[in-house]
Chain A
Amino acid sequence: MKYQVGKMGASEGIGLTVIMSIATIFLSSPAFIAERVGTLAWVVPLVSGTMSIIAIFLLSHLFKRFSGDLLTITEQLLGNTVGKIISIYYMFIFLSSAFFSVREFSENTLLIALPDLSLNVAFICYALSAAAIVYAGIETIGRVVYLYLPFIMGSILILLLAPYPFLEFNYLFPWQGYGLNTLAENSIGLAGTQAGVIILMVFAQSFQTAQTIRTAAIFAIGGMSILHSLIFVVIVMLFGSKVVAEMSLPLLEIARMIHLSRFFQRVEAIYIMVWVSVGILNTAANLFTGLFLLSRLAGLPTIRPLIPAITFIMIELSFLTPDITAFVAVISKIYLSNFFGMLIFPIILFIAEIIKDRRKKSCNGVQ
């Protein structure tokens, strides 16, 4: 199986971008944001989403002028060494996200649904399922997510609408939360949690045109930012920012609160179903992308031989931290550092392209 896949359209792009950015809402991320920003948490996804779209647009501009994928273009603009270093960094982002997904989704599956299941078995189930999906290829993952999208969105929207009787609007005030400075700092920092959307640029060559990438970025990142924002609006109105900050899994807590009548309650089963499938697909997409970058760096023609090896390494790495609290603390720091991959490197590449363009023009002028 070659990793140079066929031409992908906006649908696959939307699917891949959504699966990269949606996973965090099922985990502790909303609680961290609510703790830092307070009642204004709902603005954070909008700000970081806008920045992510700008970053993708900057990169897509490069793809109009240069052919090739992220590695090729980085090498053309910044030289072979720097290009490889940046590609290694992106590979780290995707592979680490795959490891973290396995650990966090496994731990939380035990916590909320299968308390008697061995953690090792959960790791293996998640990792092997993801590895099996990786064999199907990135295009398939994108299409599966796109087809599954109405079910994911429908389930989340039900979760957001059903607690309506318990929502209290004034809990969204004071409107500045812990202050606009805190909002600005965290919105930029937390853009790192969305670094997975760079997947559009990693596989840029496989998309039809730069416009396809832009369309996917606008619809997927824009839609996800609005969804993230709505989730914050609902959880803060439902629990208040102080209680949200305490929670491990805020979206699960919304599901647990739904009690519209004797016959419509305890609907977290819907949530758990979506949760597990999103976790596996997210791990698969991250794993594939990480393996793709590794293969490109190593000059391998295919990723297939690497799949079992990296999957087992992923399972081993998932055991590294002793408890979930320590683990969440570690990944929150790594997610913040992903901010470089999400915003800084695209800006550097864009500036490098402008400088190169000017030099070229001045050289032409001299001649």
Chain B
Amino acid sequence: MQWRPITLLLLITSIFLTAGCNGAFETDDVAYILSVGIDAAPNNQFTITYRLAVPVSLAGLDPSQSQAKKSSTLVTLTAPSLSEGRNLLKSIISREPKISQTKIIVVSEDIARNGLDALLGSLTRYREYRGTIFLAVVRGSVREVFEKNAPDIDSLTSRWVETIFQSSNESSYYLPADVHQFYKRLKNESGAPYTALMGLNPLVGENLTNSEPDKDKGKELLATQMPRQSGNRLEILGTAVFKGDKLVGFLTNKETRAMSILLGNFNRGFMTIEDPLEPTKAVNINIHLDTKPKINVDISRDIPIITISISLDGELIGIPTGINYEAPAFKTVLENQVSNTIAEQITSMLSSTQQLGTDVVNFGYYIRPQFTTLQELENYHWDSKYPQTIFKLEVHTKLRQSGLMRKTMPIRKD
């Protein structure tokens, strides 16, 4: 049978071809770039900071002994592009640099304000980059952020990046944004791109206050502004909003949470709000979205009208005043207080984005079914309509749970 030797030959050949012998790399031959930071440099160049994994430092160590500093190393260089930067990097390290495991690309505010167009081209075209890479903007120097970032709990930079962004919905004070989401909003007809906002905290917050005479007692903060004295200097707080590929402004942590509510991805968050019956005190509540927000955009008139209906669900966490907010009569008062506070924050966020002319909530997404063809949608020029849009907002809160206490008994008075 002539087929037998041919089949045998093909099978033997396939052993070598399918085992990945061609083009394969041993881990020891590769330097994995975990994160890339980009600062502006003179003459239209970039100062690029690479964080490279040092896997050997983790080998054989007890996890508690390993430290972030040991598991990675930094290289900073100046180059006219990311591609040239990678070429230069190869002259510094013995291994082949690989971007395929990069978790995050961080750009400085200066670069973002000038536009990310030059960077995005290679991020979407070159096979080693992928849409799931996170994007962030730094207030200040990215190189300094990379140098000073020292997470205490996570020993691996890659794990730290993944965890901090994937768990962002625990507070929604910052939102994850990746290359895919950024690029999709940049190219399609609706929505403005945004990224998370990072910064180095000066750690001089000893005498600073973190409360405001407002219904929401927590202060409106941006990255670098959190009043604190210790911990990892890097903080992620707020959102960098873009118009086209250019950074045009920031949203605070509270505005970011409001944006998250409108995007429908708000998981939960604690609120410290003014006690409606004793304004000098506060009430603590854990809120989450009951259902996705109902958003309707009416474009039948010259000025679009957007009607938003939000339904929140809440749980009482703490009532320092001891007022019996578990009772139906008091509960309604507190529910209204929560609704009003959230409504004010959403209105503030919408007002900020209208002033900046960026539809980061992607209201334009809701108008798409109202057009028959893409030409009609393009000719409507949603971006130019958004700043004049009128909003009608309704927030309903239901405090369904009172935690592990069914009522509050007054403190004994001597």
Contact = CB atoms under 8 A, between A and B. Distances in A.
A91 B368 CA distance: 46
Contacts of B183: 243
A253 B183 CA distance: 13
B392 interface: no
A2 interface: no
Nearest to A242: B187
Interface string B179-205: 010011001110000000000000000
Contacts of B187: 240, 242-243, 246
A174 B184 contact: no
A168 interface: yes
Interface string B88-129: 000000000000000000000000000000000000100100
A262 B189 CA distance: 32
Contacts of A176: 372-373
Interface in A49-98: none
A111 B127 contact: yes
Nearest to B369: A173
Interface size class of A (residues with CB under 8 A): 35 or more
Interface size class of B (residues with CB under 8 A): 20 to 34
Nearest to B362: A168
Contacts of A177: 373-374
B162 interface: yes
Given A256-B130, A256-B131, A114 B6 contact: no
A159 B300 CA distance: 39
Contact of A243 (B6, B188, B374): B188
Contact of A115 (B23, B366, B368, B373): B23
B170 interface: no
B319 interface: no
Contact of A174 (B17, B127, B376): B376
A168 B365 contact: yes
Contact of A170 (B23, B127, B369): B369
B371 A117 contact: no
B180 A257 contact: yes
A179 B366 contact: no
A193 B373 CA distance: 25
A116 interface: yes
Contact of A171 (B23, B368, B372): B368
A151 to B, nearest CB: 15
Given A166-B180, A242-B187, A173 B371 contact: yes
Nearest to B132: A259
B241 to A, nearest CB: 19
A318 interface: no
Given A111-B127, A112-B127, A115-B23, A242 B369 contact: no
A103 B275 CA distance: 71
A246 B371 CA distance: 23
A174 B131 contact: no
A36 B371 CA distance: 18
Interface in B144-189: 162, 180, 183-184, 187-189
B377 interface: yes
Contacts of B124: 246
A111 B374 CA distance: 32
A174 B364 CA distance: 12
Interface string A257-273: 10100100100000000
B188 A174 contact: no
Given A173-B369, A240-B188, A253-B131, 11 more contacts: A115-B127, A132-B6, A168-B365, A170-B365, A174-B374, A175-B369, A242-B189, A256-B130, A257-B132, A257-B180, A265-B132
Interface of A: 38-39, 111-117, 125, 129, 132, 135, 166, 168, 170-171, 173-179, 239-243, 246, 253, 256-257, 259, 262, 265
**The 3 residue pairs across chains A and B that have the minimum distance between CB atoms:** A240-B188, A173-B368, A174-B371
